[in-house]
Amino acid sequence: MKRNIIIGVACIIVAFGAIIGLAKACAPQTDPTPASSVATQSKNKKTHHKKAKKINAAIYRPYKDPKDLRKAGTWKKKSETKKHPKINPNETDLTLRVSLKGNRTYLLRKGKVIYTMLSTGGIYKKGKSLTPTGKYTIQGGRGDSFFNYNLGEGANNWTSWSPDNVYLFHSVPTKGDGTYNLKEAKKLGQTQGSHGCIRLSVPDSRWIMNNIPNGTKVVIKDK
């Protein structure tokens, strides 16, 4: 009987040890990294992410910004502090080069940039801009202003680069009462925002309307 008692006690001890071992195995493992360290790492990741965004904006631009380029969001003044270049109405070696993701429009003469403009192109949906990319030419369609009642938006100083006058260079958008939409105007040179046209500052759009010859090449790319 004593032997049976001893065997029983031994079994209880073994079973108890097994339960303790199972409890340890199923318990959640403690993260050795302090909470403060995790917060610091998370903060560093966010900071790094913000820096990456700034770097990418510059990568999208095919040409370096000139030193006299005004800050993004400037829409009441011409983009560069220098005067707009003089254009001969018979010139055939001009090109307007648009960088949609870079938010810039460049005027080139014989392949060399002579003026840089802050601009805003079409919104990107599913990775594609509402502004069509490709090669076009400045058309004869021009005007002081327009208003699209379907979109509830208009603009001033428009110049067409599509035969049907659907796609234009024009000023930052206007509202139904003719005043400028300040919320949209602040996007100039910073991000995309249009329904497909290329927005420019008020002076730049007026200058293009009055000076860029019909037939001038227009090249629009994502970058």
For 108-158, how does the pLDDT look when each residue is reduced to its tens digit (9 = 90+)?
999 999 999 999 999 999 999 999 999 999 999 999 999 999 989 999 999
Strands 142-148 and 153-160: antiparallel
Verdict on whether the full-model pTM lies above 0.85: no
What would the two tokens of residue 128 be?
A: 């594609």
17 has a pLDDT exceeding 90:
no
* Burial 153-173, CB ≥16 within 10 A → b, else e: bbbbbbbbbbeebebbbbbbb
29 has a pLDDT exceeding 60:
no
What is the C-alpha to C-alpha distance for residues 141 and 210, in angstroms, rounded to an integer?
12
DSSP assignment letter at 170: E
How far CA 58 is from CA of 47, 65, 80, 186, in Å, comes to 18, 9, 18, 19
pLDDT digits (tens, 9 = 90+) for 67-117: 999 999 999 999 999 999 999 999 999 999 999 999 999 999 999 999 999
CA 86-88-93 angle, to 5 degrees, is 100
Q: What is the mean pLDDT of the chain?
A: 82
What would the two tokens of residue 163 be?
A: 């035969």
> At residue 91, what is the residue type?
E
> At residue 101, what is the residue type?
K
Catalytic residues: 170, 197
Q: Are 97 and 219 in contact (CB under 8 A)?
A: yes
